[in-house]
Amino acid sequence: MERAMDNRPKAGEFFHLEPDVRRGGRGHGVVFENRKALLSPPRLILKPEEGGFPVLREVPRLVYHPSEGVPPEDLEGGMSGYWLVSERLRQVMEAVDRDAFVFCDTDYRLADGSKGPTYFLCDVVRTLDALDEEASTLNIVISDDYEEGKYYDLTGELRLAFKRDVLGSAHVFRLAFHGGVFCDRIFKDAVIAAGIVTQKRSNGLWFYDVVNR
């Protein structure tokens, strides 16, 4: 009971971090041109089950095609299991919590073949069994349909509490029974301080408070 009180959830403290798809439309127009050449069959995406990056035979080649969508923002998803992140967002990630992330250089080009802005593929590789289930409000699904036998369903009423002794100095992490990425206020504030997220623009980052009531 004492631990649950110490870990009790507070609004504005932790967030579920996702690429912001609320802009609508077709999304970004970046095409992963050599994705198939980099795959390791029978995998259908580049990212291995254990996360991180496999040994790559060549540099990922990404080309922006205006006919496919808008230019990429600072954070985009859908890159064969990875995030696409800008150089300035990578700088914040490494400054706040270097050990949470791994990056891969890309050959990012514009449609005319000229070199585009610097972008990286990114994965969050820290996974912690850090959810205080007793102090949280969420739907926990117990089923053999999931590899670990359990899954955290984050739809509906939500109040997530985290074990602070497990988190330690971590600011960005995945949970053992959920595939998403979570971060604390320190990381969010650093992104705002860098001018990436403003009152008018998310620039691709959506911070969803894990306490929604």
Percentage of the chain with pLDDT > 90?
Answer: 86
pLDDT at 3 over 70: no
Q: Band of the pLDDT at 23, cuts 50, 70, 90?
A: confident
The side-by-side arrangement of strands in the sheet containing 61-64 is 30-32, 61-64, 107-109
Q: Which residues pair with 175 in a beta bridge?
A: 128, 178
Question: What distance, in Å, lies between the first and last C-alpha atoms of the chain?
Answer: 22
Is 0.75 surpassed by the pTM of this model?
yes
HSE, side-chain direction, 13 A CA sphere, residue 189: 7
Structure tokens at 115: 């070199």
The number of C-alpha atoms within 13 Å of 67 and in the hemisphere containing its C-beta is 2
Q: Which helix (H) or strand (E) is 192 found in, with range?
A: helix 185-193
Q: Is 59:107 a contact under the CB 8 Å cutoff?
A: yes
